[in-house]
Amino acid sequence: MTLVEKKFNQKSAVSDWMTPNPTTILGDTRLIEAYNLMKENEFRRLPVVKRNGELIGIITLSDIVQHIPFFPDDPEVEVDLPVMTLTVQEIMTWGPETISPGETIQEAAELMLEAGVSGLPVVEHDRVVGIITESDIFRLVIESWSM
C-alpha cells in the first residue's frame, strides 16, 4: 500500500469530511424564511426536521426557485402572493437518502451518484449529526492528490 493509499484510508469515513451539526429547518417554516436563511448563510440545502429533531426531509435552493420564480431583495418586504404562504414541507423531498457517519466516503459518493443528489444528511439514531456534500468529497480528492 502506498503512502497516499494509507493516508486516504485513515480518513475515509464520512465523519472525517462531513460538516458537523448543520443548520436544520422545521417543516412548517415559510418558504421565504428558508430562502432567506439559505441566502444569508450561502447554503444550497437544509435538512428538514420535526420539532424533536428527527429528520423528515431535505429542501434545496433549486427546489425553492422552481416553485417561486422571484423573491424580493428586501426580506422585510411582504409580497401579496398566495405562493408566499407555502411552507418548506409542501415542496421538500420527503424521506431523503441518508448516510451514517461511520460509512465510507466511497459509499457516500456512490449513493449520491445513484440517487442523483449533491448532498446527504448524515444521520445517527434518526437525528441529523452532519451533512456531506460533493464539495466535501472534492476536498478529499484534492487533499489526496497533494500528498
Query: In this structure, what is the dihedral angle of CA atoms 90, 93, 96, 101, given to the nearest 10 degrees?
Result: -80
For the domain spanning 3-145, the CATH number is 3.10.580.10
Confidence of residue 26 (pLDDT cuts 50, 70, 90): very high
CA distance 103 to 44: 23
pLDDT at 114: 97
| pTM to 2 decimal places | 0.81
Bridge partners (DSSP) listed for residue 104: 13
pLDDT tens-place string over residues 42-101: 999 999 999 999 999 999 999 988 877 665 555 555 554 555 688 999 999 999 999 999
Confidence of residue 110 (pLDDT cuts 50, 70, 90): very high
Domain boundaries of the chain, sorted by first residue: 3-145
CA distance 43 to 38: 5
Is the model more confident about 113 or about 8? Answer: 113
Task: For the chain, report the end-to-end CA distance as a whole number of angstroms.
Answer: 14
- What strands lie across the sheet with 93-94, from one edge to the other? 25-26, 45-49, 55-60, 93-94
Query: Radius of gyration of the chain from Cα atoms?
Result: 17
Confidence of residue 6 (pLDDT cuts 50, 70, 90): very low
